[in-house]
């Protein structure tokens, strides 16, 4: 899962001189930013520097160090939704989905309109194989991302997988027609691969995936689409089972008779 870490723009804004802040377009600041602004300037500067360091640790996959850094940051200021968003991303990396959900939900309560946090929460439900909640969450993100040509196909593809897992055939049939082979996205080839798997034709499915890789290889798009298939158990994971379960999870792609 490719979680999106919280941007530092809002925190950095808190360090601008009052005159500079007043020159920016007026928009209501989240309550936590106003609260953060009331901290001493030295505390704010130290906090932002340490938070940047925590993001670097996450990017370097030094997850336990990042978690420790976030624990220390929380002692300085516990109201930053970005802290819980980043901590949730850490827990996703070590496959503690329960803790990830707990932190993403806390982040969302602090900043309900933050799309990065909303996306990560949707992803956590998806990784947890809670396809009903994931489908609802991804659907709610369609409108905010309607003008984003990179995100829309991915959101719709994840909705398609959720629909298949939930055996929502009308929605799945509708989503299969959204993109064609001439559109600039792996969507068509990946949905065709899933259809071929449902028919029991693994060779044809592999052919569709190879076409996608041949066209989009080396791009973040193909990685995101294949990651989505891996997290759902459609493609094998190099790390084994992604979410422990007491009973085998149905793939939702069994051949229908």
Contact 39, 47 (CB under 8 A): yes
Kindly report, residue by residue over 159-184, the tens digit of the pLDDT: 999 999 999 999 999 999 999 999 99
Query: Which pLDDT does position 236 carry in this prediction?
Result: 85
Contact 189, 211 (CB under 8 A): yes
CA distance 185 to 174: 17
pTM > 0.95: no
CA distance 87 to 105: 11
Least confident residue range of 8-12, 226-230, 250-254: 8-12
Q: What are the residue boundaries of the structural domains of the chain, listed by start?
A: 1-17+29-128, 148-257
Query: Which pLDDT does position 1 carry in this prediction?
Result: 56
Contact 170, 142 (CB under 8 A): no
Kindly report, residue by residue over 89-121, the tens digit of the pLDDT: 999 999 999 999 999 999 999 999 899 999 999
Kindly report, residue by residue over 229-247, the tens digit of the pLDDT: 999 999 887 654 444 333 3
**Whether residue 22 has pLDDT greater than 90:** no
Domain made up of 1-17+29-128: CATH architecture = Alpha Horseshoe (1.25)
């Amino acid at each position: 899962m490719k979680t999106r870490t919280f941007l530092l723009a809002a925190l950095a804004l808190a360090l601008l001189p009052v005159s500079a802040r007043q020159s920016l377009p007026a928009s209501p600041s989240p309550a936590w930013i106003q609260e953060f602004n009331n901290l001493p300037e030295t505390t704010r500067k130290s906090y932002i520097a340490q938070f940047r360091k925590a993001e670097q640790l996450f990017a370097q996959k030094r997850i336990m160090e990042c978690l420790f850094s976030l624990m220390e940051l929380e002692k300085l200021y516990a109201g930053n939704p970005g802290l819980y968003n980043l901590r949730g991303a850490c827990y996703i990396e070590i496959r503690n989905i329960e803790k990830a959900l707990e932190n993403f939900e806390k982040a969302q309560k602090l900043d309900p309109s933050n799309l990065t946090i909303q996306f990560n929460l949707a992803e956590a439900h998806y990784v947890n194989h809670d396809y009903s909640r994931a489908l609802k969450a991804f659907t709610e993100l369609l409108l905010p991302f309607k003008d984003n040509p990179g995100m829309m196909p991915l959101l719709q593809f994840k909705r398609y997988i959720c629909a298949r897992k939930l055996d929502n055939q009308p929605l799945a049939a509708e989503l299969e027609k959204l993109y064609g082979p001439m559109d600039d996205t792996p969507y068509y080839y990946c949905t065709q691969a899933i259809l071929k798997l449902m028919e029991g034709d693994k060779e044809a499915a592999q052919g569709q995936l190879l076409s996608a890789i041949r066209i989009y290889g080396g791009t973040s798009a193909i990685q995101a689409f294949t990651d989505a298939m891996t997290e759902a158990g459609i493609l094998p994971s190099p790390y084994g089972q992604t979410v422990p379960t007491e009973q085998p999870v149905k793939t939702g792609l069994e051949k229908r008779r």
